[in-house]
Amino acid sequence: MKDLWIKFGCFITGYNYRIIKNSSEGSAKAVKKYLSAVLIISILWGFIGYAFTQRYLHGDKTVSVIGSIVMIIMVIQVERQIILTIGKNRWARAFRIIIGLVMAIIGSVILDQIIFKDDVEKQKMQNVILEVDKMLPVKTKELDLQIQNLISQINAKERERAEINNANPFEKQNTVETKNIPTRMKMSDGIYRDTIITKRDIKIEDVPNHKLAVIPQITDQIQQLTRQRIENENMKLHMQDTLTNQMQSKVGFLDELNILFSILFTSRIALFIWCLLFLFFFSIELFVLVNKIWDQRNDYDQTIIHQMDMRIKMLEHLSEKGPKSEVATGRSNIL
pTM of the model: 0.58
What pLDDT, in 10s, does the model give residues 190-224?
A: 676 767 767 666 666 655 656 666 777 888 888 89
Cβ atoms of residues 13 and 30 within 8 Å: no
Cβ atoms of residues 168 and 206 within 8 Å: no
Cα separation, 85 vs 89, in Å, equals 8
What pLDDT, in 10s, does the model give residues 107-164?
A: 777 777 777 777 777 777 777 778 788 888 888 888 889 889 988 988 888 888 787 7
- The set of residues, in sequence order, having a beta carbon less than 8 Å from that of 120 and lying 6+ positions away, is 113, 256, 259, 260, 263
Burial class (CB in 10 A: 0-12, 13-18, 19+), 294: exposed
Cα separation, 88 vs 297, in Å, equals 11
Q: What is the pLDDT of residue 190?
A: 67
Listed by start position, the domains of the chain span 2-121+254-296, 171-208
Share of the chain above pLDDT 90, in %: 3
Which of 75, 60, 17, 3 minimizes the C-alpha distance to 285? 75
